Structure 1
Amino acid sequence: MDALSVVGGGIAGLALAAHLDPDRFQVTVHERRGEPAPVETSLAMWPEAQRALDEMGILPAVRAAGSGFGGMALRDGAGSVLLRARASGVIGVSRAELLRLLDAAVPASVLRAYGAVASLPRADLVVGADGVHSVVRRSVWGEHARARLSPYLALRGIIDGPVPPGRGGEYWGRGQLFGITPASRGRTYWYASYRSGLGPGGIDVEEALALTRAHYSGRDAGMDHVLAAATPGETLAQRVWTVPYPGRYARDGAVLVGDAAHGMTPNLGRGACEALIDAVTLADLLNSRPLPEALRAYNRRRMLRSQALRVASSAMARLALAETAQPLRDGLLRLAGRAGRAGAGQNDR
């Protein structure tokens, strides 16, 4: 039986531990924190991620805990709709609920170790599932693989009550992004991003909220409503970090999954989805092939797809947070929205 250490007990780490063959691997999950994060956030599960959840046997439970997501309006910074985008088959689920379901799927044979990991555990294979600031990536891939700090601050939070009527969607202003979407139990999930010198660590959430209110106040009734109801206790404030291209995902007895492998800006909403797909793909290969062959196959299957999404997410961030090019961007999006409505009208005839 091979010893396998998973560093990181988040989405990727728990999904991997839940899907590995317990008769083939003795798995230990190393997690810094024994309790979930105190602030709730919401995740979109795209069809590819749902297939991974289905393979793990927990898709019905995720569907029961989540809600449908049909699409959203893309708005300018003042709230006017630029275009409407549909996203059929997407499920919205809270991060806490997804982690609870993944944790419940982990076999009792998996060992748990809590506390910070300063050096690599001794094992036949060490899995870096420890996020953008991965100790595993830095230890094995070297200092050049450290996470890179973006100029953007990101806030995410939950408020009580449904989305204000006619105000849901994503707002793209000049160098500013704001999102309002439904959350579970009739609540509202919101997020915002803009350039900021706060941080990079130890950001005071109350200060970040005050700065965000100053940025967005008076632009739209929906944003005003959300920010008036937002509280520090229900808000996360973090600088956005990304992960450089690592060259390959497996080397020297270690392999990377999730944000440790391809941490990206949140603009496509694919980080959690790709983490699940990484974990299930890697587990399937490890369960069925010799270790070296499984790692080579994992690299081939996941590198191109996940790195393409990382690049696309960065491009989307630049578009959404455009500053000098914002008027041109909005004009092109309005044209695209009109063309889409005209096309839909033709199809209806």
Structure 2
Amino acid sequence: MKKVEIVGGGIAGLALAGTLDPSQFHVTVYEQRAGLPAVGTTLAMWPEAQEALASLGILGAVRENSPVIRGGALRSAIGVPWLSVEGQNLVGAARHTLLRLLDSAVPSTVQRRIEKLDAVPSDAHLIVAADGVHSMVRRSVWGQSRAAKLTPYLAVRGVIAEEPDSETVGEYWGRGDLFGIGPSSGGTNWYASFRSGMGPEGIDVGEALAVTRRRYAGHSQGIQHVLRVATPETSLAQRIWTTPPLRRYSRGNVVLIGDAAHAMAPNLGRGACESLIDAVALGKLVNTLPLDQALDAYNRQRVLRTQQYRIGSSLMMRVALAEGAQPMRDKLLDLAAKRKSAVNRKPKAPGGSKTSQ
């Protein structure tokens, strides 16, 4: 039995523990959190992430406990719709529900240790860093220059018990801020981002919520209603961190997965999905190939893709949270909305195609 040490028992760590073959590996998961979180906002599960959940045997349970995301609209700060976005068979899984179901997929042979490690384990066939954006393993093995980088933005998010009005669902872009409203299991999921000097550690959620209410006081009535109903007990507040690029996610027998490898801005909604895909891909490769070949294949499969998403999410964050360029951005979106409306109003030819001008 070969020893595999997984540092971190979040989404990526649990998914990997549930994928590794218990007949080949003695797996230990180190997690500093004693239990699963009670508060968690909704994570959009894209089709490839759903395939990873299916391979773990929990996709059905995730779907049973999660709403389908059918789309929404990109809107101005006051709620004027610019562009409609159709759903792509996305499932909105609450983070705490997803963690609970991933936990249920972990074999009973996996050893759990509630412990915060200060050093990288050394006596193992494979050491996996699934310890998030502030990964101790990443800093220790790749160096302090590859540690997480703080952005100037605060993320405040939460859930409320009311179902969302279909006319308010979507993402709102203002001057230097954004706000999102979408479905959650039994209610509404919401999130806000804007520039802030709060934190970066130990942010008081009640204070962050009060700051958010003041920030969005002039925004749409739908946003203001959500923030009036929101409570600190069902909300979270964190500064947004990202990680610098890496050309390879493994060194020797140490490998990075999830946010430890490619923590990205939340603007594309891909972070949790890519963590799941990382974990299942790595587990399947390690189950079937010698370790060096498995890690080479993992790097080929995952580095380019996830680094593209990391760059794309950063660019999208800059556009969505634009300040000086916000008027030009809004004019371009207004023009796009008018053009789309004009195309949709064109009369159709008898065969069903639109007439040409």
TM-score by length of 1: 0.97
1:170-214 CA distances to partner (integer Å, 9 max, x unpaired)? 1100000111111002x1111000000001101111111111111
Whether the 8 Å CA contact 2:130–2:260 is kept in 1: the answer is: yes
Secondary structure in 2 matching 1:292: helix
User: Segments of 4+ in structure 1 off by > 6 A?
Assistant: none
Whether the 8 Å CA contact 2:36–2:100 is kept in 1: the answer is: no
For 1:139, the equivalent position in structure 2 comes to 140
For 2:246, the equivalent position in structure 1 comes to 246
Q: How far off its partner does 1:60 sit? A: 1.3
Q: How far off its partner does 1:114 sit? A: 0.4
Q: How far off its partner does 1:165 sit? A: 4.8
Q: State the distance in 2 between where 1:304 and 1:145 align.
A: 17
Q: Decide which structure has the larger Cα Rg and report it.
A: 2
Q: State the distance in 2 between where 1:336 and 1:2 align.
A: 57
For 1:151, the aligned partner's letter is: P
Identity in percent = 55
1:95-139 CA distances to partner (integer Å, 9 max, x unpaired)? 111111111010000000002111112312110001000011011
Distance change in 2, residues 1:343/1:20 (3 Å): farther
Q: State the distance in 2 between where 1:249 and 1:19 align.
A: 19
Aligned length: 348
For 1:99, the equivalent position in structure 2 comes to 99
Q: State the distance in 2 between where 1:97 and 1:290 align.
A: 34
Distance change in 2, residues 1:113/1:191 (3 Å): same
Distance change in 2, residues 1:76/1:114 (3 Å): same
For 2:252, the aligned partner's letter is: D
Does residue 230 in structure 1 map to residue 230 in structure 2?
yes
1:59-100 CA distances to partner (integer Å, 9 max, x unpaired)? 111111111111111111111111111132111111111111
Whether the 8 Å CA contact 1:66–1:184 is kept in 2: the answer is: yes
For 1:190, the equivalent position in structure 2 comes to 190
Q: How far off its partner does 1:266 sit? A: 0.3
Q: State the distance in 2 between where 1:96 and 1:174 align.
A: 32
Question: What pairs up with 1:117-196 in 2 under 5 angstroms?
Answer: 117-121=117-121, 122-185=123-186, 187-196=187-196
Question: What pairs up with 1:285-324 in 2 under 5 angstroms?
Answer: 285-324=285-324
Tell me whether 198-207 or 329-338 shows the greater mean CA deviation: 329-338
Q: State the distance in 2 between where 1:337 and 1:115 align.
A: 52
Whether the 8 Å CA contact 2:152–2:240 is kept in 1: the answer is: yes
Secondary structure in 1 matching 2:304: helix
Q: State the distance in 2 between where 1:337 and 1:249 align.
A: 41
For 1:56, the equivalent position in structure 2 comes to 56
For 1:133, the aligned partner's letter is: H
Structural RMSD (CA): 1.3
Whether the 8 Å CA contact 1:141–1:246 is kept in 2: the answer is: no
Q: State the distance in 1 between where 2:342 and 2:59 align.
A: 37
TM-score by length of 2: 0.95
Q: State the distance in 2 between where 1:216 and 1:242 align.
A: 25
For 1:221, the equivalent position in structure 2 comes to 221
Unaligned runs of 5+ in 1: none
Q: How far off its partner does 1:335 sit? A: 2.3
Whether the 8 Å CA contact 1:243–1:263 is kept in 2: the answer is: yes
Q: State the distance in 1 between where 2:81 and 2:24 align.
A: 54
Q: How far off its partner does 1:342 sit? A: 4.4
For 2:169, the aligned partner's letter is: G
Whether the 8 Å CA contact 2:38–2:96 is kept in 1: the answer is: no
For 1:127, the aligned partner's letter is: V
For 1:272, the equivalent position in structure 2 comes to 272
Q: How far off its partner does 1:340 sit? A: 3.5
Q: How far off its partner does 1:56 sit? A: 1.8
Q: State the distance in 1 between where 2:134 and 2:341 align.
A: 43
Q: How far off its partner does 1:343 sit? A: 4.6
Secondary structure in 2 matching 1:53: helix
Whether the 8 Å CA contact 1:83–1:338 is kept in 2: the answer is: no
For 2:165, the aligned partner's letter is: P
Whether the 8 Å CA contact 1:82–1:330 is kept in 2: the answer is: no
Distance change in 2, residues 1:340/1:24 (3 Å): farther
Secondary structure in 2 matching 1:6: strand
Distance change in 2, residues 1:277/1:342 (3 Å): farther
For 2:18, the equivalent position in structure 1 comes to 18
Q: State the distance in 2 between where 1:291 and 1:151 align.
A: 40
Whether the 8 Å CA contact 1:71–1:84 is kept in 2: the answer is: yes
Unaligned runs of 5+ in 2: none
Secondary structure in 2 matching 1:17: helix
